[in-house]
Amino acid sequence: MDHTKQQRGEGQGPAVPTPSDLLTTTEAAILGLVGGGELSGYDLSRSVETGIGMFWSPAQSGIYAVLPRLVEKGYATARTVVQERRPDKQVYRITDAGRDALRRWIEAGPPEPDPAYNPFLLRVYFGAETSPGVVAGHVEARRREAEERIALLRELKPALGDVGTPASEQYRGFVLDWGLEYYEAVVRWADATLAGLSELDG
């Protein structure tokens, strides 16, 4: 198959030869968010949590490392906002060159399939090394998690995708729909797998 690597919590990430002038995934994510309006590093770490966090969540320190790099490359500009009751902050705005770079990154497309980095599945794959109950525990946890996500996504959905909404909202709707499709698949699979595991157990 193919892949790529990455991970989280477990995973690690691959080192891929970024075509040099192409953005890093983190750079693209941040640039994309900054493209929606002036944001500070702090704002960004919060949007990540509540927005694209589902499929990309750079570390806070990573965000602060990337921002000056974007300025240096001419993809964003920084402006200091003086505050009285809060620490001063830098807010960033995307430039035309930045928008261009972002567009190029989007168009470059995923070279290959799916990263599919998935330590969880690896654990299931080698499940015979432990007891069915242990694997069932993991699967149940996954199922619970999926249900939570589904509930969350259903809450977010009405806010998006209505007719007449801006295109950017439509795209967010597509991603949200993917989340629903994905987590519903998780639930179905978990149920079937739990049934299979209980047979192994008895």
Provide the binding-site residues for DNA, judged by CB under 7 A.
5-9, 11-18, 24-27, 40-43, 45-46, 57-62, 64-68, 83, 85-87, 89-90
With tokens 């995923």, the residue in question is: 110
Contact of residue 151 among its own copies, DNA, none (CB under 5-8 Å per partner type): none
Contact of residue 83 among its own copies, DNA, none (CB under 5-8 Å per partner type): DNA
Question: How deeply is 86 buried, as exposed, middle or buried, from its count of CB atoms within 10 A (0-12, 13-18, 19+)?
Answer: exposed
Contact of residue 138 among DNA, its own copies, none (CB under 5-8 Å per partner type): its own copies
Contact of residue 87 among its own copies, DNA, none (CB under 5-8 Å per partner type): DNA
Name the residue nearer to its own copies (CB basis): 88 or 174: 174
Pair 93, 71: CB distance under 8 Å: no
Name the residue nearer to DNA (CB basis): 114 or 162: 114
Residue type, 157: K
Pair 63, 41: CB distance under 8 Å: yes
Tokens of 120: 């969880």
Pair 89, 81: CB distance under 8 Å: yes
Name the residue nearer to its own copies (CB basis): 81 or 125: 125
Q: How far is the CB of 66 from DNA (least distance, A)?
A: 7
Pair 93, 36: CB distance under 8 Å: no
Q: How far is the CB of 165 from DNA (least distance, A)?
A: 27
